[in-house]
Chains A and B, each alone.
Chain A
Amino acid sequence: GQNIDQPTEMTATEGAIVQINCTYQTSGFNGLFWYQQHAGEAPTFLSYNVLDGLEEKGRFSSFLSRSKGYSYLLLKELQMKDSASYLCAVLDSNYQLIWGAGTKLIIKP
């Protein structure tokens, strides 16, 4: 079966750095997405990786290793507004998105 694993919840301090991991086992791979979802709101796109390596976009970076079935989202200089759930999703060989359950990130002052 297809599976995406992420930690359920993480806590970090304002101003710090946090890394949210995602491991996947899917039938084929056509890219990996990260979305941010604030409580009670819709998911919004953060990043897309299809090749191995690190993609940096401001305070957020996303890394992919296809051989290890592994990705992480790195958030720097954490702000209170970064408190949200972070969803990892993989596009499989049929171009269907397989979603992880999300990681709830709690930022403390």
Chain B
Amino acid sequence: NAGVTQTPKFRILKIGQSMTLQCTQDMNHNYMYWYRQDPGMGLKLIYYSVGAGITDKGEVPNGYNVSRSTTEDFPLRLELAAPSQTSVYFCASSRTETNEKLFFGSGTQLSVL
């Protein structure tokens, strides 16, 4: 049972480059999320999706884009990477949005230099 699979684990980008963080889950969860975690701060929601074809902005969406073409996949696209996007990124999923716990991917450590 794989749960939430997130790739890559580490990546270094130059300023202005683009990349896609991949996230897939095999639990048939409707809800999927992208968070970033910076030192000394709580997790910040970037984007979320309540089902295939539906996405919405979270607290810090600028500089990112997402798509949700299938229930399983929820990739995060960084366009024109900036040093402020240096962070640890987590993908997560849940069955519903209410009292359901989140299942997290293993995270991506991204550095933009």
Contact = CB atoms under 8 A, between A and B. Distances in A.
B106 interface: yes
A79 interface: no
Interface in A59-74: none
Contacts of A89: 42-43
A96 interface: yes
Interface string B35-76: 000001111110000000000001000000000000000000
Interface string A76-104: 00000000000101010001111111100
Contacts of B40: 8, 101
B101 A45 contact: yes
A30 B99 CA distance: 8
Interface residues of A, number: 25
B20 to A, nearest CB: 19
Given A87-B42, A98-B42, A101-B40, A45 B102 contact: yes
Given A41-B106, A42-B90, A42-B107, A96 B101 contact: no
Contacts of B97: 95
A54 interface: no
Contacts of A45: 101-103
A48 B101 contact: yes
Given A41-B106, A41-B107, A42-B107, A99 B101 contact: no
Contacts of B43: 43, 87, 89, 97, 99
Contacts of B102: 35, 43, 45, 97
Contacts of B41: 101
A4 B42 contact: yes
A104 to B, nearest CB: 10
B84 interface: no
Given A42-B90, A87-B42, 16 more contacts: A8-B40, A30-B98, A30-B99, A33-B101, A41-B107, A43-B90, A45-B103, A48-B101, A91-B98, A91-B99, A97-B43, A97-B45, A99-B43, A99-B44, A101-B42, A102-B42
A43 B42 contact: no
